[in-house]
Chain A
């Protein structure tokens, strides 16, 4: 009787324990979706023609919910950050839970994948601090933990030498892959902005309305200029130009080298997301539920389309369509030509995450910890 009881209790305990994230057999040339927007410049454009319908493939449940971040991936594994301090690893093809890593706090931003590790940021609850954790998924444990004295809600930037982080207090840090802080640069201004970087420089903006560029190698500031009343969004970089939107609803095109404003365009509502680009246009939605297509060179309006909801995540851009998350429980498939709504998918909760196109599937993060995977209809 005692033996049976012991076995029963042991099974119960084991069942309630979470599985570790242990990933083996990942090839060296595995496909990677390594950070927010896929690259340090951020990229949401996929130059392919696709169907304007999506078919459901699977859904999975995690505990918690999501910020406007996204998931990252390597090979057939997805890494999903949640607001209850967990990173889930799911099978990209089936949604099966491979493992989960838990901390106390929230993981508000996209994990960065580098070789056999992923790096994620946890804002510690009941504290002003945060920590960057290095998780080795071949050894299935946290191998390094770097405490920061400020919270971070801004997406990390992955470079060849390390990870760039901008804290909520506006401090720029570079942390190398060994786990050392290479440098810290104070700007002493509240920053809620997803930076972008090219091979040499990192670019971001802050709540004072300043745009800032700094050298990745040593953190030295190239320039710091006030052009707006405040930014709480994110930037995308292409060909030495940066594109970003501000709290007054203005979209800017900035010369990345000089920091000069090339053009600006006024929309009708606050912008909180990172713009998307393709060969010709900039696409951006605002909190007034309006989506815009702007000529990338001239800064003039191609079209604007309204909705009943609110846009605070980036569009996925294909050759013929856009996929845009509307916080009012739906995903919209929109014609790139004129902004017409071609199709939409309704969910039970708010669609929160910036969607990711990976593995020929599109992944959405929905309220109450649901991940949904769709593919384009034939």
Chain B
């Protein structure tokens, strides 16, 4: 997803002065601050911890984890971070996504980040203290590593313009923050056994992926076991010696990088290949039901004649709900039918695909999506094919794992509240009553009702004793209010499911290293132990029963989540592993430590402190106009809510003009509330060229101010209002005609964007912009015109990676001295010289077929392995025209093109085609060739 355009929008506004009808604008989704956070500050010895609302108890626990980690990392790195580290805690991921510290959108899978320009660490709490501790430690490893390496470079006077490669940076953060867990094990098992594990020489091919994190982690584990833990610190201490990190590794270990790589690959294979002796892949030991997309949370739906799987999946880029016919005997994969498309409208803004978030009772589906500033619960009728109702609660922010009672009258789910507590709730549909079941900082998840609906079985990390903080299964008696252990093992157990007849309770557990299915052994209502029913190499994420012995699983294999069906009784009893629980000594409850157990801390109110974001300066020498220079810099507060931008440059051509040629603008933008606003003042003077007016240069002095408001109605649509005042004195060079005006420009825009992007532009969805504006010279009446912009773009998906894109845009200024719009070039009417088509009215229409061309291209000579990915093709037809008073002629073009995306920063475009000339009567005799940059429309 492309960046939030708000900042760019504001910068473009003041840079273009009276540019309220600026033709170059942004669509984009909206990052909304739904909540106003009352920030507070907790100061400890090494940290300033920012938190808000009722999160105090969790913030104190987080502060303890941070100080604990600091002490350990100080020793590991042999280094102190002398400045106080800002930690910003959000009490849920939904609130975390609203942060202004980073301007972009934060995907679901991001668990926290370290913003190294200002050294800020931003962490969401996800309801689980162990995971909270892990993320805090992970981000602090980044802080220490960055400080250590940059200091090391600076000490040696080596340019501090590079850090170790990302696989090492993230691998180190994982390796020095946490143990090797089930998720890491699952990832590596899958990658190695399915042969998509990458050696060091190829690791950039998985740049930024979760696999890369885990490969980095296991590489450091290998280094520690083979060469010694001290080598890891030495990599950083030797970092100054060589520009290439491979040379640093080679120097530190005393072996060539190829040898190290070979040894590492062997280490990994030696670890994972033996798994096949006792465990099997899913596609071998069960029947694969799907082969495409990502498929989660299967729920079996039966009618008299059919059995199908209702599930949450992503097959087109939008996570949605599907219905898959259950055809275990078919040789082909069944095609799922779309029930409800998500992520295109506000009510189903985001699905949480990786969490359990759907359940079924008869023909009713209950599922969770994000809507606005929190999660909501939807009730949907499969029979009527419509949404029945949507429920939300002010005090609950995140919701997951809904589960119907056996009579369908109630639903139990897990939710995170304003304090950050992850607890269980029961909601009764008829009375609309919400009952809170647990209320503490232990993480309670995946609850289900028993057959009589008087007990809730769930997974929780409240496990005490020697298996402290592991997720075990518990049973809560709704009538008596008792809580008892159902499992007690040194492993994580969750996803309890009763068999169809409710005679047996099954669940998934990572006891053998991956999540497999186990059965709880009970005698006289007492849990005795558990028995293993599956022995897969990689994890089962969720499952449901077709009948008492047949299940459908959502399992991870070959880097995807697919459905499989299997018979739980397929493994003979003699081969099933079994574990007995030891309950004879009741485990004591564990308590989280918090910062009160550390000597010093202070609680303060948050006050804004502004620091520099960036500063650019440049001096250029123009052969015609002489030397010019300027600078732009921005400051903002720690939370990124308030930003000031200063822009200063000088356009003097002779010494005498120096003072009056200062150009200045100062803007303030505020993002702290739902409505973003900005205002500023400017003073510009110098020679200008405005293609909206003529091809002549002219001198202009312009000063004034602007005010803008952006109100996001939802993630997909917003309203923008702008007003600009500008006193403008122009002198046209040739005829030395002065022209004064005091311009007031107003505009109101409505923007909508729910598009899904491919590598070079949108492939699905809709975006449009409608603008009404009015510009008037309030003093001299030199200008006076209305503006209308209507820009509509629709994308029709043909396949996963191809689409037809259509656009119809109309731009009109009407009145006295109206500015012109401009067209022509790679961005609209291709083939025609860029911006050569100008008029007070302009229309553009395009039809373009977008398709993948080359997925990966590597040029070995002479570029030594320079790689390009996602080279895409286009076939297009453009038409349009521009006029002032009378329509002249229609122009057009047809052709084909290539698009190459460079590092998601810029797309290069190359088009070949023919212009349609002479008012659409003939094709240009020769071809045109046009090269430029820019995203597809």
Contact = CB atoms under 8 A, between A and B. Distances in A.
Contact of A126 (B71, B79, B242): B242
B230 A207 contact: yes
B82 interface: yes
A308 interface: yes
Contacts of A99: none
B155 interface: yes
B228 A230 contact: yes
B75 A287 contact: yes
Contacts of A155: none
Given A272-B78, A310-B78, A350-B82, A65 B240 contact: no
Contact of A288 (B71, B156, B254): B71
Given A207-B230, A350-B80, A106 B254 contact: no
A64 interface: yes
Interface string A290-313: 000000000000000000111010
A192 B75 CA distance: 17
A64 B153 CA distance: 10
B156 A84 contact: yes
A208 to B, nearest CB: 9
B118 interface: no
Contacts of A350: 80, 82, 151
Contacts of A232: 230
Given A126-B243, A309-B80, A269 B75 contact: yes
Interface string B85-127: 0000000000000000000000000000000000000000000
Nearest to B46: A308
Contacts of B240: 83, 106, 125
Contacts of A272: 78
B155 A83 contact: yes
B80 A106 contact: no
A201 interface: no
Contacts of B251: 128, 151
A207 B228 contact: yes
Contact of A270 (B71, B75, B155): B75
Contact of B154 (A65, A66, A169, A287): A65
B362 interface: no
Contact of B78 (A66, A123, A289, A312): A312
Interface string A75-92: 000000001100000000
B45 interface: yes
A64 B80 contact: no
Given A125-B240, A288-B75, A327 B156 contact: no
Contacts of A215: none
A310 B242 CA distance: 28
Contact of B241 (A125, A308, A312): A125
Size class of the contact patch on chain B:
20 to 34
Contacts of A288: 71, 74-75
B157 interface: yes
A287 B45 CA distance: 17
A328 interface: yes
Contacts of B75: 269-270, 287-288, 310
Contacts of A127: 241
Interface string A56-86: 0000000111100000000000000001100
A63 B157 contact: yes
B156 A287 contact: no
Interface string A99-122: 000000010000000000000000
A312 B251 CA distance: 24
Interface string A183-222: 0000000101000000000000001000000000000000
Contacts of A169: 254
Contacts of A349: 82
Given A270-B75, A310-B80, A329-B82, A64 B156 contact: yes
A329 to B, nearest CB: 6
A324 interface: no
A297 to B, nearest CB: 29
B45 A308 contact: yes
A43 interface: no
Interface in A123-137: 123, 125-128
B703 to A, nearest CB: 43
Nearest to A127: B241
A247 interface: yes
B412 to A, nearest CB: 47
A84 B241 CA distance: 11
A125 to B, nearest CB: 6
A230 B78 contact: no
B155 A64 contact: yes
Contacts of A269: 75
Contacts of A63: 157
Contacts of A327: 79-80
Contacts of A329: 82
Interface in B30-84: 45, 71, 74-75, 78-80, 82
Nearest to B82: A329
Interface in B128-184: 151, 154-158
Contacts of A84: 156-157
A192 B78 CA distance: 14
A83 B157 CA distance: 8
Which one of A247, A270, A287, A368 has the greatest number of beta carbons of chain B within 10 Å?
A287
Contacts of A83: 155-157, 240
Interface string B228-243: 1010000000001111
A308 B240 CA distance: 28
Contacts of A126: 241-243, 247
Contact of B74 (A65, A190, A230, A310): A310
A88 B634 CA distance: 40
Which one of B45, B80, B154 has the greatest number of beta carbons of chain A within 10 Å?
B80
Nearest to A272: B78
B113 to A, nearest CB: 26
A350 B157 CA distance: 16
Which one of B75, B151, B158, B240 has the greatest number of beta carbons of chain A within 10 Å?
B75
B191 to A, nearest CB: 32
B45 A247 contact: no
A287 B77 CA distance: 9
Nearest to A312: B78
A287 B74 contact: yes
A169 B234 CA distance: 14
A76 B254 CA distance: 42
Contacts of B158: 125
A298 B242 CA distance: 47
Nearest to B244: A126
B80 A328 contact: yes
A83 B240 CA distance: 10
Nearest to A269: B75
Which one of B78, B243, B251 has the greatest number of beta carbons of chain A within 10 Å?
B78
Contacts of B155: 64-66, 83, 367
A138 B157 CA distance: 29
Contacts of B78: 270, 272, 287, 310, 312
Interface of B: 45, 71, 74-75, 78-80, 82, 151, 154-158, 228, 230, 240-243, 247, 251, 254
Closest 8 CB pairs of A and B: A65-B155, A287-B75, A84-B157, A83-B155, A83-B156, A328-B80, A327-B80, A310-B80
22 contacts: A64-B155, A64-B156, A65-B155, A83-B156, A125-B156, A125-B241, A125-B242, A127-B241, A151-B251, A169-B254, A207-B230, A230-B230, A247-B230, A270-B78, A289-B74, A308-B45, A310-B74, A310-B75, A310-B78, A327-B79, A328-B82, A349-B82
Given A126-B241, A312-B78, 15 more contacts: A65-B154, A83-B240, A106-B156, A123-B241, A125-B156, A125-B241, A126-B242, A126-B243, A190-B254, A230-B230, A269-B75, A270-B78, A288-B74, A310-B74, A350-B82
Interface of A: 63-66, 83-84, 106, 123, 125-128, 151, 169, 190, 192, 207, 230, 232, 247, 269-270, 272, 287-289, 308-310, 312, 327-329, 349-350, 367-368
